[in-house]
Amino acid sequence: MNRSTWQRSEGGQAVILIAIMLLALTMAVGLAIDTGQLFVARRTMQEAADAAAYAGAVVRYQAGSVVEASNAAYADASRNGFPTPATNGFTVTVNVPPASGPYAGNDKYVEVLIAGAVKTSLVPAQSALTQVSVRGTAGAVPLNNGYAVIALDKGNTPDAFYAGPNADIHLSGGGILVDSTSATAAQSDAQCGGATPRFTIAPPYGTAVAGTGTGCFPTTGSGLDNNQPQQADPFGGFLKPSTTGMTTYNSLPGGNPTVLSPGIWTVKIGGAGNSLFDLNSGIYVLKGEGIDLGGSADIVSLAGGVFIFNTHTNYPGAFRTGVDHLLRQLPPLPRPGLHQRDEDRRKPERYLHRQRHDLPAERHVHARRQQRDAHR
């Protein structure tokens, strides 16, 4: 009888041990599931914060205001499932400039904070274990790769860079790079010597040509260096500007100087004689007509700088062969501070980026000449 009682007692202990083990296994599985949910939620939140910060930084790069950058960041976070005001328990905070970190106080950067409680399978939603917060920061900084003028045509193109006898070029903060491999890739008939030279490059920069350059080039820095390595387009991959909300201008206003405002321009910007054009700060989309600096015309960027995008007549739609057009001949070589990029010949867009004249260390001029100056 005592033996039977002992056996029944052992059987009860086994059931208890099995129940404890099953409970422990259930807890372990639940914690594994919760941990996975937290990692997935954190990754989703981080990607949304990074994307929102980048969206705001793009607006600042395109000369948008702090308020516009903040609105763009909030909108992007909402598109990725984190709206403001919060409807899912997650809060989004945008700081322009960032409130912390190495870029605190720099309004060229955007900080996005996302925080909230992640609903888990085992741990109650009220538990501190489910609180997740992430931070994303993005910004746009001036680019200086040592070149103020870059002729981007990488083919065997003659006169990819050409300075005519009446050219007036004065560069500081960078030299000249010509990517063409032609034996006549760069040609200068400009006046670069004498008491009052009209073609100067401030030390320590010079002129580098992938092919061969001839003519009168400044002797500052290393002077004229031929057979140099080709360089990549420093603005390659940058986003093209949106036309949403832009004003369209079909004619030039009067006056000299002629004051222009940001927007979509369907008329050629330029004039004869000593015309002067003052450009207010902002984004200019030139659809098909471009800029003509002939006849000693000058274009001046007012305080804040401008971004000029030279494109085809159907932008932002696709280029339609035989229907749309863009400016066939580039204007004479820009003055210092004027930025231009001409993409591969098979592509219909051309870029022109101009910054303030009082920021010489941040100037980058990008130009590709398709034929010799009219003065030749």
> 157-216: per-residue pLDDT in tens?
899 999 888 888 888 878 999 999 999 999 999 988 888 898 999 888 999 999 999 999
348 touches 316 (CB < 8 A): no
Q: Are residues 91 and 23 in the same domain?
A: yes
Q: Are residues 41 and 177 in the same domain?
A: no
- Write down the pLDDT at residue 62: 76
Q: Are residues 251 and 200 in the same domain?
A: yes
pLDDT band at 127 (very low <50, low <70, confident <90, very high): low
Q: Are residues 129 and 98 in the same domain?
A: yes
Q: How many domains does the chain have?
A: 2
- Write down the pLDDT at residue 150: 85
* pLDDT over 60 at 228, yes or no: yes
Q: Are residues 32 and 131 in the same domain?
A: yes
Q: How far apart are CA 232 and CA 218, in angstroms?
A: 24
pLDDT band at 327 (very low <50, low <70, confident <90, very high): very low
Q: How far apart are CA 58 and CA 241, in angstroms?
A: 9
Q: How far apart are CA 52 and CA 225, in angstroms?
A: 44
Q: Are residues 249 and 304 in the same domain?
A: yes
DSSP secondary-structure letter at 238?
A: P
Q: Are residues 315 and 248 in the same domain?
A: yes
Measure the CA angle with vertex 368, ends 364 and 370; round to 5°: 165
- Write down the pLDDT at residue 328: 39
Higher-confidence residue of 334 and 277: namely 277
Q: Which of 123-132, 256-265, 266-275, 354-363 has the lowest mean pLDDT?
A: 354-363
| Cis, peptide link before residue 85, omega less than 30° from 0 | yes
Q: Are residues 39 and 168 in the same domain?
A: no
Indicate the pairing of strand 147-151 with strand 365-366.
parallel
Higher-confidence residue of 266 and 145: namely 266
* pLDDT over 70 at 375, yes or no: no
- Write down the pLDDT at residue 46: 92
% of the chain at pLDDT higher than 70? 74
- Write down the pLDDT at residue 167: 82
* pLDDT over 90 at 316, yes or no: no
In the chain, how long is the greatest CA-to-CA distance?
A: 125
* pLDDT over 80 at 231, yes or no: yes
- Write down the pLDDT at residue 196: 87
Other Cβ atoms less than 10 A from the Cβ of 15: the count is: 9
Measure the CA angle with vertex 281, ends 202 and 139; round to 5°: 75
Q: Which of 139, 172, 203 is the last residue of a domain?
A: 139
Q: Are residues 13 and 34 in the same domain?
A: yes
352 touches 367 (CB < 8 A): no
Q: Which of 139, 157, 190 is the last residue of a domain?
A: 139
Sequence length of the chain is 376
Taking only the tens place, the pLDDT of each residue in 45-102 is 999 999 999 999 988 887 788 999 999 999 999 999 898 887 778 899 999 999 998 8
Q: Are residues 153 and 74 in the same domain?
A: no
Q: Which of 6-15, 28-37, 164-173, 177-186 has the lowest mean pLDDT?
A: 6-15
Measure the CA angle with vertex 160, ends 158 and 163; round to 5°: 105
Q: Are residues 206 and 274 in the same domain?
A: yes
Q: Which of 80, 104, 139 is the last residue of a domain?
A: 139
Higher-confidence residue of 301 and 92: namely 92
Q: Are residues 201 and 274 in the same domain?
A: yes
What average pLDDT does the chain have?
Answer: 76
- Write down the pLDDT at residue 295: 65
Question: What average pLDDT score do residues 95-112 get?
Answer: 91
Taking only the tens place, the pLDDT of each residue in 341-363 is 333 333 333 333 333 233 233 33
Q: Which domain holds residue 194?
A: 142-376
Question: What average pLDDT score do residues 276-302 get?
Answer: 82
- Write down the pLDDT at residue 67: 93
- Write down the pLDDT at residue 241: 81
- Write down the pLDDT at residue 77: 92
